[in-house]
Copies of this chain bind each other. A is one copy, B any other.
Amino acid sequence: MTRSTADLIADRARLMGPNVATFYDDPLHIVRGSGVWLWDAQGRKYLDCYNNVPHVGHCNPRVVRAIADQAGTLNTHTRYLHDGILDYIDRLTATTHATLDTAILTCTGSEANDIALRMAEGITGKRGVIATDATYHGNTSLVSQLGKSNVPSVGFGLEQYFRFVDAPDSYRTPDPDGMGFAASVAAQIDALNADGTGFAALLICPYFLNEGFPNHPDGWLTPTAEVVRRAGGLLICDEVQSGFGRTGTHFWAHEKMGVVPDVMTLGKPMGNGHPIGGVVANRDIVKTFRQGYRYFNTFGGNPVSCAAALAVLEEIEDKNLQANAKAVGAYARTRLTTLQDKFDCIGDTRGSGLIFGAEMVLDRDTKTPASAFTDRVVNKLRDRGVILSKLGRHKNTLKIRPPMPFSRENADLLFDTLDEVLADTPLAP
């Protein structure tokens, strides 16, 4: 049925329970998508500058066809032999360092990170996990503990194993060589060893997307990786947001940051919205985990999910989407810089490829976050047909992370609209 916005909101409360977040003061009722475009129930068109799950574009024809064809042919589980999962893992691991040669497929990034942490426990015999204090890595009992901004009050006491370091912030507390971050990880490792927990893993997004994608030179994580390895722990890179060519310069953000993780986890964009996630690691790590637990996932690696995921890899390659991310991202950064010259509220601009944004401040000297202002800007952009969001510890950074076919023309529309909105929005309401 087709509900009014008011009825949709009322039925959500009735059927889904309280505290189910929507975007925007006036939530969007989206009914159709294609490429970088979304349409609401009134037929209004929006430029999607936010959604990374439809990595190769909303309703990408190649992916939709792959799903429809395979769903009409066979969908079953991995206890029968099938070429699909092998074709996919073969192609996926061809994009990674030689040591990342084996994969477990899941349905979500949450499931993938839940496995990754158990791999670390299996390898190290320890349980202490370190993350940043402004991140998110999923929603299971275990991995929900990694989300400091949404601390669960339920979770079977698992919080005892998690320690947090300050999220890197290139704008306010520069750390150009990464030695500061490495030192803060080392301090938490020492604390875990001192209290008897021991150190199992550092789990990070290598481009720190939730943290506000700080501006770091390539290779920035090298000292941190050294600290982790010296302490006998595993480096887990969550590439759910940063991977599949998003940063433009590299297929995986950990390559950009100069490290090879022990375990890499995948989710959101992997199947362009079809529920698939995965863990890629060295076969010795997978072996230790699988000997400790005979993991099976009914839907994980089913032929339809693998067909969707394979189509995503093919589409990235055939359409040169990583190169597009690099070129359009570079263009977007120049337009952002131009806006920064014009508007004092833009304190900092950052990004690489098709993850970029601007940090809004009330004052460039004090760098006081303009959080409420940023929220108004995001809502005004929505009203003018441009969809994006905000993030970072102060929720004052525009988060621009569009589908990968995003073009220069799309970027022009985004920045022309942002220009108008910034000109039209007073810092104080």
Q: Which residues of A contact B (CB under 8 A)?
A: 1-3, 5, 8-9, 11-12, 14-23, 27-33, 38, 51, 53-54, 58-59, 61, 63-64, 67-68, 71-83, 85-87, 89-90, 93, 101-104, 107-111, 114, 117-119, 121-122, 127, 139-142, 144, 150, 152-158, 161, 267-268, 272-276, 283, 286-287, 289-299, 301-302, 304-305
* Closest chain B CB from A3 CB (angstroms): 6
Q: Is the CB of A140 within 8 A of B156?
A: no
Question: A290 near B114 (CB under 8 angstroms)?
Answer: no
Question: Which of B73, B78, B122, B297 contacts A154 (CB under 8 A)?
Answer: B122
Please tell me if the beta carbons of A9 and B81 are within 8 angstroms of each other in the complex: yes
> Closest residue to A69 on the B side, CB-wise?
B68
CA A208 to CA B358, docked complex, whole Å: 55
- For residue A121, which residue of chain B has the nearest CB? B154
Flag if A299 contacts B107 (CB, 8 Å). yes
Give this chain's copy count.
2
Provide the residues of chain B in CB contact with A85, threshold 8 Å.
Answer: 15-16
Which residue on chain B has the smallest CB distance to residue A156?
B127
Q: B17, B19, B86, B276: which contacts A3 (Cβ < 8 A)?
A: B86
Residue contacts A-B, CB under 8 angstroms, 11 given? A8-B86, A11-B86, A17-B286, A19-B287, A59-B73, A108-B297, A108-B299, A118-B141, A121-B155, A142-B156, A154-B289
In the bound complex, residues from chain B placing their C-beta under 8 Å from that of A144 are 293
In the complex, which residues of chain B have a beta carbon less than 8 angstroms from the beta carbon of A58? Answer: 74-76
Given contacts A22-B80, A54-B75, 11 further A-B contacts (CB under 8 A): A17-B287, A54-B76, A64-B68, A107-B299, A108-B298, A111-B111, A127-B156, A141-B142, A153-B292, A156-B161, A268-B298
Asked if A75 contacts B21 (CB within 8 A), the reply is no
- Given A8-B81, A19-B290: A76 in contact with B53 (beta carbons within 8 A): yes
Asked whether B78 lies within 8 Å of A20 as measured between CB atoms, the reply is: yes
Considering the chains assembled together, what is the distance between the CA atoms of A286 and B19 in angstroms?
10
Residues from chain B with Cβ under 8 Å of A19 in the complex: 287, 290-291, 294
Docked pose: A232 CA to B352 CA in angstroms: 54
Q: How far is the CA of A142 from the CA of B117 in the complex (A)?
A: 12
| Residues of chain B with a CB closer than 8 A to A22's CB | 79-81
Assess the A18–B154 pair: CB atoms within 8 A. no
Are A154 and B107 interface neighbours, CB within 8 A?
Answer: no
**Residues of chain B with a CB closer than 8 A to A76's CB:** 30, 33, 38, 51, 53-54, 58, 273
A234 to chain B, nearest CB (A): 13
* Cα(A17)–Cα(B294), bound, Å: 11
Q: How far is the CA of A89 from the CA of B127 in the complex (A)?
A: 38
